[in-house]
Amino acid sequence: MKDMINHEPFWPDHPTVILANGSYPTNDIPLEILNGHGYLCCCDRAGLTAIEHGLKPDAIVGDGDSMPLSGQQALSGIFHRVDEQEYNDLTKATRFVLAQGRKQIVYLGATGLREDHTIANIALMATYRHEMGVEPIMATDYGWFSAHEGNHVFKAFPGQQVSILSFGCHKLSSKGLKWDAYPYDTLWQGALNEAVAPTFEIDADGLYIIYQTYEAK
Pick from 41, 145, 48: which is nearest to 94 by CA? 41
Residues 6+ apart with CB under 8 A from 163: 190, 191, 192, 193, 210, 211
Q: How far is the C-alpha of 136 from the C-alpha of 127, rounded, in Å?
A: 10
Q: Does residue 103 share a domain with residue 22? A: yes
Strands 160-167 vs 143-149: parallel, antiparallel or unpaired: unpaired
Confidence of residue 62 (pLDDT cuts 50, 70, 90): confident
Q: Does residue 138 share a domain with residue 156? A: no
> DSSP characters for 38-100?
SEEEEETTHHHHHHHTT---SEEEE-SSSS-HHHHHHTTTTEEE----SS-HHHHHHHHHHTT
Question: Does 2 map to a domain?
Answer: no
Q: Does residue 186 share a domain with residue 154? A: yes
> DSSP characters for 135-158?
EEEEE-SSEEEEEEES-EEEE--T
Q: Are 8 and 198 in contact (CB under 8 A)?
A: no
Q: Does residue 51 share a domain with residue 109? A: yes
Q: Does residue 22 share a domain with residue 114? A: yes
CATH number at residue 96: 3.40.50.10240
Q: Using the 3D structure, point to which of 78, 107, 142 is the last residue of a domain.
A: 142
Q: Does residue 128 share a domain with residue 41? A: yes
Confidence of residue 87 (pLDDT cuts 50, 70, 90): confident
Phi-psi region of 176 (alpha: psi -120 to 50; beta: other; left: phi over 0): left
Question: Does 39 map to a domain?
Answer: yes
How confident is the model at residue 7, as a pLDDT?
62
Number of domains making up the chain? 2
Q: Does residue 137 share a domain with residue 190? A: no
Please write the tens of the pLDDT for every residue from 10-60: 999 999 999 999 999 999 999 999 999 999 999 999 999 999 999 999 999
Mean pLDDT of 189-202: 97
> DSSP characters for 168-193?
S-SSEEEESBSS-----SSGGGG-SE
Q: Give the range of the structural domain holding residue 52, as residue numbers without chain letter.
A: 16-142
Q: Does residue 122 share a domain with residue 20? A: yes
Q: How far is the C-alpha of 54 from the C-alpha of 74, rounded, in Å?
A: 16
Question: Does 1 map to a domain?
Answer: no
Higher pLDDT, 5 or 116: 116
Confidence of residue 2 (pLDDT cuts 50, 70, 90): very low
Tell me: pLDDT of 83 over 90: no
Q: Does residue 128 share a domain with residue 27? A: yes
Please write the tens of the pLDDT for every residue from 105-124: 999 999 999 999 999 999 99
Question: Does 198 map to a domain?
Answer: yes
